[in-house]
């Protein structure tokens, strides 16, 4: 166990954490974990985004910037992990969209909570959907309703209702907006690892972008870019190095007062904006 905090990152706009390489028909795919293929924002990019936000407020050469994020030849007080995927928006005929996840992501989330000293938030079971099945939450208005079909993109699943309240309560601690928390119970869908993996590989938006000639307005360069959609939920862990607890306290207070951070590329076209919610041992999520 280490002293740290979890930062929930709810995408307010589309995100493009670029991989820096082409991927077949997609010129600029998102970065992905090597073993799972799930989208990820690598720790170096996440730390850079937090540093840039801090630098704009406090200056590049301030003593606090160096204390928290370090210098080229000196380590900073904090370590920032990869921003890992937890909930992915998927189009659905059962409402405008659902927030999908899978057992692997939920089990990993529980391990990460334990790593930063939040073991008291891991006392919930990870549901395991069967083949062709999707687990959704039981709601008061439909407790007596039988299983029904759930449509995600072009696929049909048998919807099984289970009590997910304990798990939803913890996931909600990563979300800043109260109205998003309120709809989480009806939007959450748990798919098998294989089914969820399909949507992460083939269900992300691919957008055509174009560079025009200033005079003729004809195309000079057309490319296709993969994105994570708005309302995607990721999280990253911030860990304090030994004896550097004050650095974490300073970053925590800064993010409480200024919770928006821009990550990934395409800042000039309004992409990459996330709202941060802090989940730690100081009474749970921040107000």
> Can you give the pLDDT of all 287 residues of the chain as single tens digits?
578 999 999 999 999 997 666 656 677 889 999 999 999 999 999 999 999 999 999 887 788 898 999 888 788 899 999 999 999 999 999 888 999 999 999 999 999 999 999 999 999 999 999 989 999 998 765 555 555 899 999 999 999 999 999 999 999 999 999 999 999 999 999 999 999 999 999 999 988 888 877 787 777 778 788 999 999 999 999 999 888 889 999 999 999 999 999 999 888 889 999 999 999 966 444 43
Predicted confidence at residue 139, as pLDDT, reads 72
CA angle 79, 83, 273 (to 5 degrees): 110
Cα–Cα nearest to 100, from 165, 167, 184: 184
- Which residue in this structure is represented by tokens 């370590």? 79
DSSP H/E element including 161: strand 155-162
3-state class of 182 per DSSP? Answer: helix
The CA distance from 262 to 285, in Å, is 21
As for how many domains the chain has, the answer is: 1
Residues 6+ apart with CB under 8 A from 242: none
φ, ψ at 97 (rounded to 5°): -165, 165
CA within 13 Å, CB half, 185: 14
The CA distance from 284 to 287, in Å, is 9
Sign of the dihedral defined by the CA atoms of residues 135, 168, 32, 204, in that order: positive
DSSP state of 103: H
- Cβ atoms within 10 A of the Cβ of 225, count? 20
**Residue 237 is encoded by which pair of tokens?**
């862990």
Predicted confidence at residue 141, as pLDDT, reads 59
Residues 6+ apart with CB under 8 A from 90: 97, 98, 99, 100, 152, 153, 189, 199, 203
Predicted confidence at residue 10, as pLDDT, reads 98
Q: Are 85 and 36 in contact (CB under 8 A)?
A: no
Long-range Cβ contacts of 128-132 (<8 Å, 24+ apart)? 128/103, 129/103, 129/160, 129/190, 129/191, 129/192, 129/195, 130/160, 130/192, 131/192, 132/157, 132/158
The CA distance from 5 to 102, in Å, is 23
Predicted confidence at residue 140, as pLDDT, reads 62
3-state class of 70 per DSSP? Answer: coil
Predicted confidence at residue 1, as pLDDT, reads 59
Predicted confidence at residue 283, as pLDDT, reads 47
Domain of 154 in residue numbering reads as: 4-285
The CA distance from 182 to 194, in Å, is 28
């Amino acid at each position: 166990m280490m002293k740290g905090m979890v930062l929930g990152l709810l995408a307010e706009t589309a995100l493009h954490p670029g991989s820096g390489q082409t991927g077949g028909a997609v010129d600029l795919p998102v970065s992905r974990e090597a073993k799972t293929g799930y989208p990820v924002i690598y720790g170096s990019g996440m730390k850079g985004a937090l540093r840039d936000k801090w630098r704009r407020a406090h200056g590049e050469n301030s003593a606090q910037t160096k204390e928290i994020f370090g210098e080229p030849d000196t380590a900073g007080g904090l370590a920032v992990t990869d921003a890992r995927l937890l909930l992915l928006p998927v189009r659905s005929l059962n409402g405008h969209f659902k927030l999908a996840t899978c057992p692997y992501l939920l089990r990993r989330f529980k391990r990460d909570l334990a790593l930063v000293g939040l073991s008291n938030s891991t006392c919930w079971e990870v549901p395991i959907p069967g083949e062709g099945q999707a687990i959704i939450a039981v709601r008061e208005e439909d407790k007596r309703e039988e299983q029904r079909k759930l449509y995600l993109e072009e696929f049909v699943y048998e919807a099984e209702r289970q009590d997910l309240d304990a798990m939803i309560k913890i996931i909600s601690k990563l979300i800043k907006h109260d109205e998003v928390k309120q709809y989480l119970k009806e939007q959450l869908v748990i798919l098998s690892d294989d089914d969820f993996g399909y949507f992460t590989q083939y269900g992300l938006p691919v957008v055509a972008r174009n560079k025009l000639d200033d005079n003729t307005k004809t195309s000079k360069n057309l490319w296709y870019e993969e994105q994570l959609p708005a309302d995607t939920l990721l999280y990253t862990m911030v860990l304090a190095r030994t004896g550097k607890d004050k650095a974490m306290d300073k970053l925590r207070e800064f993010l409480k007062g200024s919770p928006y951070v821009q990550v990934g590329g395409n800042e000039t076209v309004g992409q990459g904006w996330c709202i941060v919610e802090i989940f730690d041992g100081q009474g749970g999520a921040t107000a």
